[in-house]
Amino acid sequence: MEILITDKQLDEVLEDVFDVYGYDFKSYAKASMHRRINRLIAIDKFPSFTEFRYRIRTDKNYFHRFVEEITVNVTEMFRDPAFFTALRTEVLPAIATKPFIRIWHAGCSTGEEVYSTAILLKEANMLHKTLIYATDLNPDVVEKAKSGIFQLDRMKQYSENYIASGGKADFSSYYTAKYDRVIFNEELKKRMIFATHNLVSDGSFNEFQLILCRNVLIYFDKDLQQKVFDLFDKSLDSLGFLALGTKETLRFSPFIGRFRQLDKMKIWRKIS
């Protein structure tokens, strides 16, 4: 029978991680944490929970692996094409008149979403006057995002998503293929700024016309979600937009009165 950690053991590991390394995962939704840690204990073949806990406390390199494995980095380009259609047709036109635009991808993972947004901006002729800030708590994924290098075998799916989102150009014109990888054009990358930023502990660092934070909040408990909404509220321009994942909502937040939701989309616009 595999090792399934108890709630108490989970709390112990998360306390250790906070004490030793300063990373605060204590307000994350527990069910996913349970599953990721059970899985990590199994794939790294720890004979007991105690040994797993000891290793994390004492081995900094293993702690990096822990962060890499318990955070979920799965992402793709133009995921949920209908969402990108709404960005293209409703959000970008509304901010296009600004002389200078700032966009924040919070929890950008390996960057697929960031390059998708850059492509939309280029096609709307707005890229040259936009800066896209892309942040994640995990330094490894931020490095990957910065490189702009992705697997060639994913491009067929991404190209289909791009077309489904209303893309009319030749998708392959945005990258150069080399062996089994592709590298996205410098023109897109030039307008991106990558940094590590922890939504739990780091504050607001600029004012944005659009903040995208998709499929990150599902991993937080309700209190932490509120804290992050507060951070986004502070970081949004007076008529700025906030975009969440398909199953995430601002509905239960006290801020809801100050935002108006776009028809059927997980996009809200600040109205005051």
Partner 1 sequence: MAQDQLNSKIVVIGGSAGSLEALLDLLPALRVDLDIPIVIVMHRKTAPGSPLVDVLAIKSSLPVCEVEEKEPVKNGHIYIAPADYHLLFEADHTFSLDVSEKVNYSRPSIDVAFESAAEVYSDGLTGILLSGANADGTHGLKVIGELGGVTIAQDPDTAEISYMPEHAINNHVVHHIMNVQQLAVYINSL
Ligand X SMILES: C[S@@+](CC[C@H](N)C(=O)[O-])C[C@H]1O[C@@H](n2cnc3c(N)ncnc32)[C@H](O)[C@@H]1O
Query: Where on the chain is the footprint of ligand X (CB under 6 A)?
Result: 71-75, 79, 107, 109, 113, 136-138, 141, 198-200, 214-216, 219, 245
Q: Minimal distance in Å, beta carbon 176 to ligand X?
A: 23
Give the helix ranges, DSSP H, for the chain: 7-21, 30-43, 49-58, 60-70, 81-86, 92-95, 112-123, 139-147, 155-164, 186-189, 222-235
Least separation in angstroms between residue 75's CB and ligand X is 3
Q: Report the residue from 80, 113, 136, 233 that binds partner 1 according to the rule CB under 8 A.
A: 80
- The DSSP string of 225-248 is HHHHHHHHHHHEEEEEEEEE-TT-
Phi/psi class of residue 240: alpha, beta or left (left: φ > 0; alpha: ψ in -120 to 50)?
beta
**Shortest gap between Cβ of 154 and partner 1 (angstroms)?**
14
Considering only 35, 129, 156, 178, the residue that binds partner 1 (CB under 8 A) is: 35
Q: Which of 11, 77, 12, 2 is nearest to 40 (CA)?
A: 2
Considering beta carbons, is residue 30 or 57 the nearer one to partner 1?
Answer: 30
Nearer to partner 1, 1 or 238 (CB): 1
Closest to 206 measured CA to CA, from 226, 232, 245: 232
Question: Would you count residue 89 as binding partner 1 (CB under 8 A)?
Answer: no
- Considering only residues 110, 165, 215, 253, which one is a binding residue for partner 1 as defined by CB under 8 A? 215
Binding of residue 208 to partner 1 (CB under 8 A) = no
- Cβ contacts of 84 within 8 Å, gap of 6 or more: 78, 116, 120, 161, 165, 166
Interface contacts to partner 1, rule CB under 8 A: 1, 4, 6-7, 29-32, 34-36, 72, 74, 80, 82, 215, 218-219, 221-222, 225, 245-249
